Amino acid sequence: MLLHFLDTQVTCLFHEDCILPCSFIPTGAVVIHWYKQQIPVHSYYYNKDQFGLQNKHFSGRTCLFNLQIAQGNASLVLRKVKVQDRGRYKCYTSTRKGNQETFVNLGVKG
């Protein structure tokens, strides 16, 4: 079963760090994928960050709250936000209980 939620709107200041919110119900092992359209932004599985597929535009600028993932926090930190970062992001989480997609619309000001 795939759960969907209404889009969350986030506005961040240019060149500041920004948090894109995402939460899920934690049950055992979790897979987290963040995408912008189809572009891989950040992935987490096997209990660690996976940068193999990350788009170079986001290289070195993303992280999760790794110590809070077990509590259901899949929020993404995007550092030094650029104008090109604005758009719609998808947070995909997968656990034993099912899959969930959350969308965040990022606006950039400043």
Task: Write down the pTM of the prediction.
Answer: 0.94
pLDDT at 61: 98
d(CA 90, CA 92): 6
Total number of domains constituting the chain: 1
* pLDDT reported for residue 78: 98
pLDDT tens digits, residue range 28-85?
A: 899 999 999 999 999 999 999 999 999 999 999 999 999 999 999 999 999 999 999 9
* Cα distance between residue 16 and residue 110, in whole Å: 10
* Confidence grade of residue 16 (pLDDT, cut at 50, 70, 90): very high
- CB atoms inside a 10 Å sphere around CB 27: 11
CATH number of the domain to which 30 belongs? 2.60.40.10
Q: Is 14's pLDDT higher than 90?
A: yes
Confidence of residue 109 (pLDDT cuts 50, 70, 90): very high
Of residues 68, 72, 67, the one with CA closest to residue 97: 72
**Domain range for 99:** 2-109
